[in-house]
Amino acid sequence: MTFCEKVLQEMKKRGIKKSELAHEIDVPYTTLDSMLKRNTENINLSIVYKIARYLNVSVDYLIFDGMEEEQNNQPDNNEELQAILQKIQKLNLTGYKILNAYIDGLTTNKDLIQCQQQSPSKK
């Protein structure tokens, strides 16, 4: 799939319109619409980054052909993520350090993270 096909697919999955995406990433609607209609390869990297961040996918997934986005264990609700980020931005340095340490602890606890089963390698 191309970059544009992936963006349109992700937008459809989330029920996001082009006008909403354009507004949220602070890009003129006509720029986004034109980019997605022409399926152009010359796309501003900062726009790619903004789209990936808003759609909660990796830049690599959007730009590399044949790469499928891995399932992640993050909330699908973009509003929920935005609310969490707003709360984090209100923290002072001490609060940020405590939160960061807490998140580190959560993400290293095997009982709390989603692990993919790997089949044993054959010798």
CA-CA-CA-CA torsion sign (21, 22, 24, 27): positive
Encode pLDDT of 33-48 as tens digits. Answer: 888 887 666 678 888 8
Domain extent for 91: 78-108
**What is the number of domains present in the chain?**
2
Residue 113 lies in a domain: no
Give the model's pLDDT for residue 110. 63
| Domain CATH code at residue 53 | 1.10.260.40
Looking at the fold, whether 82 and 46 belong to one and the same domain comes out as: no
Residue 114 lies in a domain: no
Give the model's pLDDT for residue 22. 95
Encode pLDDT of 23-36 as tens digits. Answer: 999 999 998 988 88
CB 22 within 8 A of CB 31: yes
Give the model's pLDDT for residue 11. 93
Distance, in Å, from the CA atom of 79 to the CA atom of 57, rounded to the nearest integer, reads: 15
Looking at the fold, whether 57 and 92 belong to one and the same domain comes out as: no
Residue 23 lies in a domain: yes
Looking at the fold, whether 59 and 84 belong to one and the same domain comes out as: no
All residue ranges of the chain with pLDDT < 50 are 71-73, 115-123
DSSP strands (E only) in 6-123: none
